[in-house]
Structure 1
Amino acid sequence: MILWFDGRLRDHAEPVVLATDHGLTVGDGVFEACELLDGRPFALSRHLDRLERSAAGLGLPIPDREVVRRAVHEVADAWGTELARIRILWTGGPGPLGSEAAWGPGTLLVAASAVGAPHAVSVAVVPFVRNERSAIAGLKTTSYAENVRALAWAHEHGGDEAIFANTRGELCEGTGTNIFIEDGGALLTPPLDSGCLAGVTRAVVLEWAREEGIEAREETIPLKAIHEAEHVALSSSTRGVVPVVAVDGRALEPGPLTQQVAEIYTRRHVLTPDP
């Protein structure tokens, strides 16, 4: 791991966060995870845009974008060209041991670690739901205990990733992925009002697919559709676009649109590092 904190690179084992940091005590923080490809963070501007939106949604101060950029590039330069994930963490900083607002100043941590190559996945639909009316719906916060529990449940039931419905019984998202279904020659993904995260890869996939003549759109999808669909795909910053090969044990084949869009994404994201 390569770690940056408070203006410089650190030993990854060095203690850097106070015990009273609100990101630790109450999950009052936001983060981004970028793919580091050939030493370059992919779609960094979009990730920083979302980091700022998430911070504003939590009522946190907005981090200095240039400081964050500088930290990311220092970490990327130190890491090298091996495939990796860069994680940008911004919290409210020190605060009370309760739900009152943090005292600040905010805490910024940037780290890189290795990731494996993307691969096809199986999914399990979990018995828990996303609350599309939650105060943190659509924000990429450090409050990930719900995801940890859901992913563990999915693993216990033969899935690599967990899939959530929302409180209305609509298809929503995975723990760290957006979901696509092929339907009638189109690639469909749940709209943001389903409560799903506005995935950076999701947005890029929709844009690039349309530019290359593929019908790709947001559409409200009932949960039952994932149990009936012939072809399903997931997207995320470290996965790109990958096919789903099983839903709750029901085997699926990679779909033609999934394969086409995955090829487009793989080709173009190498050529356009900050779309």
Structure 2
Amino acid sequence: MTQTVIWTGGRLVSPGESAISALDHGITVGDGVFETCAVFDGQAFALTRHLRRLARSAAGLGIAEPDEEQIRDGVAAVLAAGPAAGRLRITVTDGVGPLASGRSDGPQTVVVAAGPATIRAEGRAVRSPWTRNERSAVAGLKTTSYAENVVALADAVDKGGDEAVLANTRGELCEGTGSNVFVERDGELVTPPLSVGCLAGITRELLLEWGTAAGLPVREAQAGELMFDVLDDVAAGRSHMLLTGSVRNVQPTTWLDGVDLLAGELSRTARDMFEKMRRELIDP
């Protein structure tokens, strides 16, 4: 297995090396944002889109816009020394801060890391007992305050899955802990709208764009169209589900809450289309 490669403070550091302050606000209160990109053939996939979303998350969190040039320098250094395939993570925190929620005016902390990852063609999902708060101050932002996702994913893994799927507080289908959800039903692939509180996923965005251009029936749902109980239809085989994410790509779900499922025909077509397009366009 290729070792994880880490860049911070303008240099490469070893995984066991002390490299950031114990008072970094990203550590003490989770005051930071991040992005994860897939790495193919030594290149970060859709990096420009990920950097745009990183800036949006920073603005939503109320921290300064990250230094894109500095981040790209870190990405280049890590990819030159890291795995040809895997995942790349960019983390930006508000830097050293007090032992409280208030912020200081110091420089941001930037960490870029790359390591191995496995992309599986199919996924195993569990319906989570917890919900997303679509009215949260950080709804739709990719922040380092990730404890809710850690707990929900651990619960799913304990039950035999590799992802947890959550409703929001209104009972609408929302998202996974690290993925977006599409439901295949009535000859369409439909994904919850951003108003449910889900992350504006890059893979979700590309599947909507590329799928539409390719003539696939793929769209955002109307508000209230996809309630969480649509997964009853998925479990019964009347509908199908797929998950999208930066290391999952487009992944049909073939197991839900202990029930083996068949991948939907349209879901498989979408997966194949996405694989073809991502090979042709590394930074779409």
TM-score normalized by the length of structure 1: 0.97
Instruction: Tell me how far 1:73 sits from its aligned partner.
Output: 1.4
Alignment of 1:122-201 (within 5 A): 122-201=124-203
Instruction: Tell me how far 1:70 sits from its aligned partner.
Output: 1.5
Q: Which residue identity lines up with residue 162 of structure 2 in the other structure?
A: D
Is the counterpart of residue 260 in structure 1 residue 273 in structure 2? no
Contact map agreement 2:83 2:114 (CA 8 A) in 1: no
Q: Which residue identity lines up with residue 245 of structure 1 in the other structure?
A: T
**1:73 matched residue in structure 2:** 76
Q: Which residue identity lines up with residue 235 of structure 1 in the other structure?
A: T
**2:63 matched residue in structure 1:** 60
Tell which deviates more after alignment, 152-161 or 49-58: 152-161
Deviations 1:152-211 (A, max 9, x none): 111222221101000000000000000110011110000001000000000001111111
Whole-Å Cα distance in 1 between the matches of residues 143 and 157 of structure 2? 23
Tell which deviates more after alignment, 228-237 or 25-34: 228-237
Deviations 1:117-153 (A, max 9, x none): 3231111111110000000000000011000110111
Gaps of 5+ in 1: none
Instruction: Tell me how far 1:80 sits from its aligned partner.
Output: 4.5
**1:208 matched residue in structure 2:** 210
Select 1:15's aligned residue among 18, 22, 27: 18
Is the counterpart of residue 226 in structure 1 residue 226 in structure 2? no
Q: Which residue identity lines up with residue 134 of structure 2 in the other structure?
A: E
RMSD over aligned CA atoms reads 1.0
Q: How has the CA–CA distance of structure 1 residues 105 and 218 changed in structure 2, closer, same or farther, with 3 Å as cutoff?
A: same
Q: Which residue identity lines up with residue 44 of structure 1 in the other structure?
A: L
**1:110 matched residue in structure 2:** 112
Whole-Å Cα distance in 2 between the matches of residues 136 and 117 of structure 1? 28
Contact map agreement 1:187 1:216 (CA 8 A) in 2: yes
Deviating beyond 6 angstroms after TM superposition, the runs of 4 or more aligned structure 1 residues are none
Instruction: Tell me how far 1:109 sits from its aligned partner.
Output: 0.2
Whole-Å Cα distance in 1 between the matches of residues 104 and 156 of structure 2? 34
Identity of aligned residues (%): 48
Select 2:39's aligned residue among 36, 47, 51: 36
